[in-house]
Structure 1
Amino acid sequence: MPFKRLLRFDTDASPDWPQRPWLLAATGAGAGLLIHLLTQAGTTGPAVSARGAAVLFIGIAALLIAFTFERPRAAWGVAFALGGAGAVALVSLLLGGPLAWWEELWRLICILLAVAIAAPLFQAARDEGRLGFPYRSVHDHAWTNVLLAAAAVSFTGVVFLVLFLLAALFRLIGIEAPWAVVTAPAFGWTLGGAASLGAVGWLRERVGVMRGTVGILALLAPVMGAGLAIFLLSVPFTGLAPLWEATRSTTPILLACIAGGLVIANAVIGADGDEARPPAMLWGAIAICLSLLPLAAIAVASVAARISQYGLLPERLWAVVFVGIAAAYGIGYLGALARGRRGWAPRVREANLVLAVGVGAVALVLALPIVDFNAISARSQVARLRSGGVPADRFDFGALRFAMGAPGRVALAQLAADAAPTIREPAARAQASRWPQQLESIERVAAAGAIRVVPVALPVPGALQSAIADFGMTGTMALIYSPGATEAILVSSGCEGCPSNAVRFILADGEWTTVQRDAQPTASPARARIELRRVERRQVFVDGVPAGEPFE
């Protein structure tokens, strides 16, 4: 009976549940420990995809329980948590193992966004007991979830900071046990889960205080509205040329301004009956709403310019999606204002609900392997190369290797088999590289005249080129090498006037490798025989100045 009193899964609609923080802390600790056990097997192997999906399922289910579970209609909360976590796990399985997540990171972000948008809609429907979404309820739950997440992350960080400081303090006096405990992976996962979910549980008992903090963002509305209005009024005089000179940063900055404007405007608009604000705040929110569509139009022009210059890449296609969402919000808000200033806030709230459902649906579609931005980009880039739209010496073969996932690597393999050497050779170099920095080194080493060979100028063997590139040498380079030799010494300098460095390569079993000198174990000087010997060694000199360490 005490256990039943602890859980109290009854239909009491009271938000007070003193046991919630402890139950959620225990849930978080268990989820963290399970995640630790699953991640111990590594990121390779036949079951890695299933393990990765299980990790996401456990983590997302625990988070959704923490944020959305209530005693009234408890079965609804459990079903939503399992369904949301199952959707994330399914997308993970479709993508493959954890190593593939990074190539399709935006798909994971999309499914997480879809679940995050669905959460306040579910919470509102649960409170109503039917399929209905009162704006005040959706609004309050959405803001509360965001604030809870931020507060839980901050609290967890402080918990770890305090424990690490205390453990370090004990290390100062030679007590290592606390440090060993706090640095153990199992402890970190378990404590992180307990601290984060326990903080959510504790704060959910004080939801009213948290929701009251949202209104403070409305103070920024006059500043944000005036700033955006002044910027847009300045554009006709400055033109868009300065924006195109900063093409890489234009779109992210514009989208960040749109997102920030949406947050601040909605802090002013509030829920039903909350729009009675000082005139400066209301006019600031109106200025923000009027600015959204022009900012989105400039972002559209920025993305279009980038695509016309350099073709499609997955990141640019995702930028198109984000700009399209920003434009949809701009159109919705402008439409609400166009129908008159009186009653514009309720119309914006209606638009918010429709747009939220639309964004969630788009995110769900993009999370599934229905549209493949990697394949679209790879086809586009190869078509530009084949058609002569971009010459081979300016084509980014590394983008196919590192930025377009499996479709990019397949396209690169096809280019590596091309009959034209101008395409085949750089494609093969990109195919052989394991990371972008290595490819840059390979391209530099392969460039004509990049390495001066002494004492007699001759081409550098391809295998030796690869070894030099793999080592990652930079700057100006000279190679001491003779035809047929099994040894080569590379001398490099990062800049004019900088000291030179020398590295020795040897040929063994058909492969060039660097020679690393390891420290040799010696006996204790107190007992060993000590003697002084004259040792003859070789060392590279550049204009009489020694470069690098002596060679044996």
Structure 2
Amino acid sequence: MTGSHDDHSASGRSGLAREGDRRATAAVRLGIGLLQGVALWWLTRSWPNEYRHPPLWPATDPWLFGCLFIVFAFLPVVLLAGVGRLRPVTLIVWGGIAGAVMAALAFHDIDRQGVKLDDTVLSPLFVVFTAVALFIGHHLIVPADRERRLIAPYPAYFDAAWMAGVQLALSIGFAGAFWLLLFLGAALFKVIGLTFLGDLIGKSWFAFPMTGLAFATAVQLTDVRDGLIRGVRAVALMLLSWLLLVMTVLAAGFLAALPFTGLKGLWDTGSATALVLASAGALIILINTAYQDGRPDNRPPLVLRIAVQVASLLLTPLIVLAVWGLMLRIGQYGLTPDRIIAAACALVGAVYAVGYGLGAIVPLIRKGSDWMKALEATNLASGVLAVAVILALFSPLADPARLSVADQVKRLEAGKVTPDKFDFGFLRFESGKVGQQAFEKLARSTDADIARRAQEARKMEDRWDSPKPDVAVDLRIEMLPAGTALPAAFPRSVVFDGSTGANQALTSCTSKDEPCKARLFDLDADGRDELLIAHRFAVIVFVLGDDGKWTSPGTYMPRICAGVGRGDMRKTLETDQFQTEPQRWPGLRSSDSINWTFTPDTQCPGEAVRVDLVPPPPPPARPAPPPAR
């Protein structure tokens, strides 16, 4: 009787301890989610926008801002996934290493771009691959820590990774549904004239912390309902595994058709490597949904087992095609960052192809061998390799921009590509600081053709703009009144160098059919005439400086008012019936040397802006004093 009572008491204490652990885990996770939201709000608040200039600290330092952003965005997610699943010491060490590595890689990613304050400081590829590396690395550590072994049994890796994937998807969906409900509630309140909720959810100081709390709440709820997550995972794996049949038939049909269609159509797409690698990646994922944890009692039906083996054999020709196409493009056009990243993906894909191929062939050759057993070791090796490749790509070790610039410049200097075919735009706009340094070096090249092409490319406005050669074009200008000569010091031709302002505006004065009109007129009453040159849409003002050169202070544009001012500005200049109009409201100059120009509300003659001023309500009448008694 006493023993039974003691057992019951021990069981109760154990249950209370577990309940206490769950509450502590929930509190820690909610705290992490709230802190993440506050940290991200603080970062985004410092970034400049149209209402606040200059930026606040830490956005004044792009390197620091980028490092903090990547750490605050991803490290809390790692901690949320590790609380309750990793030993505290392991979690602290792993979190510290992950945060330090992310910050170091972010610093390099920002530094290699040569960024300005108004640029995006982290490249999208870096953010995506960082998330992939963290997911893989975390789920290599969790099973090993749980099993207290350097390499855990494969079912532990499968269970941890796929459970976390389902949990992540559900948590993101929960946070999205939370915000949909908030917007719905705000709309309901707005219907009855209450806007407080809509105003609240529009505040960043509310949005970021609440999103972090919602995500952390979802992680905790899905972690407590472990059986529910396993059920969702089982359904998802079952549905995806049957899609393996579809993808296997498509890949086999594609490969079988190639001998009859040839490879030209595939190479002509310009994206053959990406398409083939994406197909191989889809096969790898679907193969794993069918294989699952590899336990004999969890094997798929016979038709899926056959599909797994066939798909595993198809990976090799797909990866060979991808590598072949990639080598052809590199041989023709050299290295680019995209091709280097594709080569890295192909390397990881090749490991999968070899391992899965062996897993499919060995049971056919050696009777009694476990079905697709090599898949397990292949997945672990490929995971480690993928993390190592990502770290190399986004560090100085194998920086795609550095390798690409070196290869492209080497091809140019070796004569494999002529200066007129060389992609100077890549160096200027897509290869970061190292590309800009190489571009400046080419602009000072002793090869006259290379230097000239680089100087022309310097005038490009964006990546896809064409280099602008310096070509002098004759101006077509007729002076008014007839018989008057254009000032001798004014140029008869202009070089269109891609700049803006008067140089660009004079492009309208090169047509033989519609020459510009010009007239001398003293606009500022200083005793010296300015030169007014009119094309169809505007009048350009030129002033003769003390150095004998003509410069343009600005342009006159007509006001469009109910049919007035829509005519040809050259005809307006011909009438000789215009006069200067004094500016009633002068411009302003602030103490920080910023000029402010006055824009009148009345844009057209006879029009005025009506402003109805509502007088304030009269003060309430004072109550009459009570009558004296």
Normalised TM-score (structure 2): 0.70
2:196 to 174, 177, 181: 177
Structure 1 segment 40-439 matched on structure 2, within 5 A: 40-42=45-47, 47-70=61-84, 73-96=87-110, 105-171=124-190, 174-206=193-225, 207-212=229-234, 213-247=236-270, 249-273=271-295, 275-341=298-364, 342-418=369-445, 422-433=449-460, 435-436=462-463, 439=465
Q: CA deviation at 1:42?
A: 2.6
Q: CA deviation at 1:269?
A: 0.7
Residue of structure 2 equivalent to 1:32: 37
* CA gap 1:446/1:113 in 2 versus in 1, 3 angstroms: same
Contact 1:21/1:200 (CA < 8 Å) preserved in 2?
no
Partner AA of 1:114 in structure 2: A
Partner AA of 2:84 in structure 1: E
Q: CA deviation at 1:539?
A: 2.7
Q: CA deviation at 1:47?
A: 3.4
* CA gap 1:175/1:208 in 2 versus in 1, 3 angstroms: same
* CA gap 1:195/1:297 in 2 versus in 1, 3 angstroms: same
Segment drifting more, 14-23 vs 139-148: 14-23
Partner AA of 1:33 in structure 2: V
Q: Distance in 1 between matches of 2:198 and 2:100?
A: 37
Residue of structure 1 equivalent to 2:568: 539
Q: CA deviation at 1:385?
A: 2.5
Partner AA of 1:35 in structure 2: L
Query: 1:282-339 CA distances to partner (integer Å, 9 max, x unpaired)?
Result: 1111121111111111111111122122221111111111112112211111122222
Q: Distance in 2 between matches of 1:110 and 1:209?
A: 29
Contact 1:12/1:72 (CA < 8 Å) preserved in 2?
no
Q: Distance in 2 between matches of 1:480 and 1:210?
A: 74
Q: Distance in 2 between matches of 1:96 and 1:462?
A: 35
* CA gap 1:237/1:448 in 2 versus in 1, 3 angstroms: farther
Segment drifting more, 90-99 vs 153-162: 90-99
Structure 1 segment 512-531 matched on structure 2, within 5 A: none
Contact 2:541/2:554 (CA < 8 Å) preserved in 1?
yes
Long gaps (5+) in structure 1: 1-7, 492-501, 521-531, 543-549
Contact 2:531/2:541 (CA < 8 Å) preserved in 1?
yes
* CA gap 1:348/1:176 in 2 versus in 1, 3 angstroms: same
Three-state SS of the structure 1 residue aligned to 2:568 is strand
Residue of structure 2 equivalent to 1:467: 500
Q: Considering only CA atoms, is the larger Rg found in Structure 1 or Structure 2?
A: 2
Residue of structure 2 equivalent to 1:524: none
Q: CA deviation at 1:10?
A: 12
Three-state SS of the structure 1 residue aligned to 2:363 is coil
Q: Distance in 1 between matches of 2:414 and 2:338?
A: 23
Q: Distance in 2 between matches of 1:305 and 1:25?
A: 52
Q: Distance in 1 between matches of 2:562 and 2:305?
A: 87
Three-state SS of the structure 1 residue aligned to 2:151 is coil
Q: Distance in 1 between matches of 2:268 and 2:20?
A: 54
Normalised TM-score (structure 1): 0.79
Question: Which of 1 and 2 has higher RCO (CA within 8 Å, sep 6+)?
Answer: 1
Q: Distance in 1 between matches of 2:86 and 2:242?
A: 36
Q: CA deviation at 1:99?
A: 7.6
Segment drifting more, 156-165 vs 30-39: 156-165
Contact 1:480/1:489 (CA < 8 Å) preserved in 2?
no
* CA gap 1:385/1:173 in 2 versus in 1, 3 angstroms: farther
Q: Distance in 2 between matches of 1:152 and 1:480?
A: 67
Q: Distance in 2 between matches of 1:325 and 1:10?
A: 46
Q: CA deviation at 1:430?
A: 3.6
* CA gap 1:459/1:358 in 2 versus in 1, 3 angstroms: same
Q: Distance in 2 between matches of 1:13 and 1:285?
A: 42
Confirm or deny that 1:17 pairs with 2:17. Answer: no
Q: CA deviation at 1:72?
A: 6.4
Q: Distance in 1 between matches of 2:178 and 2:401?
A: 40
Q: CA deviation at 1:270?
A: 0.9
Contact 1:9/1:72 (CA < 8 Å) preserved in 2?
no
Three-state SS of the structure 2 residue aligned to 1:277 is coil
Partner AA of 1:241 in structure 2: K
Q: CA deviation at 1:535?
A: 6.2
Contact 1:275/1:345 (CA < 8 Å) preserved in 2?
no
Q: CA deviation at 1:124?
A: 0.2
* CA gap 1:515/1:145 in 2 versus in 1, 3 angstroms: farther
* CA gap 1:17/1:490 in 2 versus in 1, 3 angstroms: farther
Query: 1:42-75 CA distances to partner (integer Å, 9 max, x unpaired)?
Result: 3776633223212322332210111122166233
Contact 2:477/2:517 (CA < 8 Å) preserved in 1?
yes
Partner AA of 1:58 in structure 2: F
Q: Distance in 2 between matches of 1:513 and 1:365?
A: 53
Query: 1:355-397 CA distances to partner (integer Å, 9 max, x unpaired)?
Result: 2122222222333211232122112222323333223222221
Q: Distance in 2 between matches of 1:518 and 1:37?
A: 46
Query: 1:72-97 CA distances to partner (integer Å, 9 max, x unpaired)?
Result: 62332233223212211121123336
Q: CA deviation at 1:215?
A: 2.8
Q: CA deviation at 1:434?
A: 5.4
Q: Distance in 2 between matches of 1:172 and 1:470?
A: 55
Q: Distance in 1 between matches of 2:540 and 2:15?
A: 74
Query: 1:25-45 CA distances to partner (integer Å, 9 max, x unpaired)?
Result: 342122111122133223776
* CA gap 1:239/1:77 in 2 versus in 1, 3 angstroms: same
Long gaps (5+) in structure 2: 1-12, 49-54, 479-490, 521-529, 572-602, 606-629
Q: Distance in 2 between matches of 1:505 and 1:436?
A: 31
More helix per residue: 1
What percentage of residue pairs aligned between the two structures are identical?
A: 24
Contact 1:144/1:211 (CA < 8 Å) preserved in 2?
yes
Three-state SS of the structure 1 residue aligned to 2:499 is helix
Q: Distance in 2 between matches of 1:127 and 1:345?
A: 25
Q: CA deviation at 1:268?
A: 0.7
Three-state SS of the structure 2 residue aligned to 1:82 is helix
Contact 2:108/2:394 (CA < 8 Å) preserved in 1?
no
Contact 1:152/1:200 (CA < 8 Å) preserved in 2?
yes
Three-state SS of the structure 2 residue aligned to 1:466 is coil
